[in-house]
A = this chain, B = another copy of it.
Amino acid sequence: MGKPVAIVVGVGAELGLGAALCRRFAEGGHHVFVAGRSAGKIEQVVRTIAAKGDSAEAAVMDTTREDDVVHLFDRAMTPRAGFDALDLVAYNAGNNRQMDFREMSAQMFEDFWRIGCYGGFLVGREAARRLAPLGRGTVLFTGASGSLRGKPGFAQFAAAKAGLRMLAQSMAREFGPQGLHVAHVVIDGGINGERLRRSRPEMVEGRGEDGLLGVDAIAETYWHLHRQPRSAWAQEVDLRPHKENF
């Protein structure tokens, strides 16, 4: 039997969650399609995986473009010697920023939805199309505290993320009985990654050890979700650093 195949959509810098998911899935024995917009970043992720003796390849794509998503799944489903079928998909695309509601342009509101929800639909639909007929597989969506609560200045983010959550929930209810495990992970708190280290280094410093979410720790729970036996599947789990106020 060959290596099972995984897709991670929304991979950026090596320090980010997307890259950590790729590394964990590769370490778990998968050949990973590392999908993201920046060739430079995702190729670096692939190199790091390869350097450990694990297996991955880069897929430059824009998850808000239907053709790109379909093409990615076509690639991942193509039979290859030594490879087993696709059985794990993670949707990790998204961005976040506090904005002035009254000054926000309609285009900006839409952009948040495109990456936060619509791209998730495209990926979720392709995953359902390809995996449900096989009666197995896992689809994991990255959520946020905004998936559950709308805070001032975050309407554009929460509206997209809550939509993604409902997508995941609807898919879970429909495809779970067919053997496809769909789960939603609520990431609550700052991630100790590229973005925060660059934009708010003093905050990262101030939080101290375990004061921010660790990407490898998060990835461990994604992996656990993929490994859950069918007789006890989780649909939603929240993750936060132990010092987080919530």
Residues of A near any B CB (own CB < 8 A) = 66, 101-102, 104, 106, 109-110, 113, 117-118, 121-122, 124-125, 128-129, 132, 146, 149-155, 158-171, 173-174, 176-177, 179, 181, 192, 210, 212-214, 216-218, 220-221, 224, 228-246
> Does more than half of chain A's interface fall in helix, strand or loop, or is it mixed?
helix
Q: Is the CB of B163 within 8 A of A159?
A: yes
When all copies of this chain in the complex are counted, the total is 4
State which of B106, B124, B163, B229 has its C-beta within 8 Å of the C-beta of A163.
B163
A244 to B178, CA, bound (A): 11
Contact A129 B117, beta carbon cutoff 8 Å:
no
Tell me if A155 and B171 are in contact (CB < 8 A). yes
Contacts of A173 in B (CB 8 A): 150-152, 245-246
B238 lies within 8 A of A234 (CB): yes
**A232 with B237, Cβ < 8 A, contacts A121-B106, A166-B155 known:** no
A233 touches B242 (CB 8 A): yes
- Residue in chain B with minimal CB distance to A227: B220
Q: A162-B163, A232-B221 are in contact. Are A243 and B213 (CB under 8 A)?
A: no
A225 to chain B, nearest CB (A): 9
Q: Which B residues touch A239, using CB under 8 A?
A: 232-234
**List of B residues within 8 angstroms of A235 by Cβ:** 238, 240, 246
Q: Please indicate the chain B residues that have their CB under 8 angstroms from the CB of A152 in the complex.
A: 170, 173-174
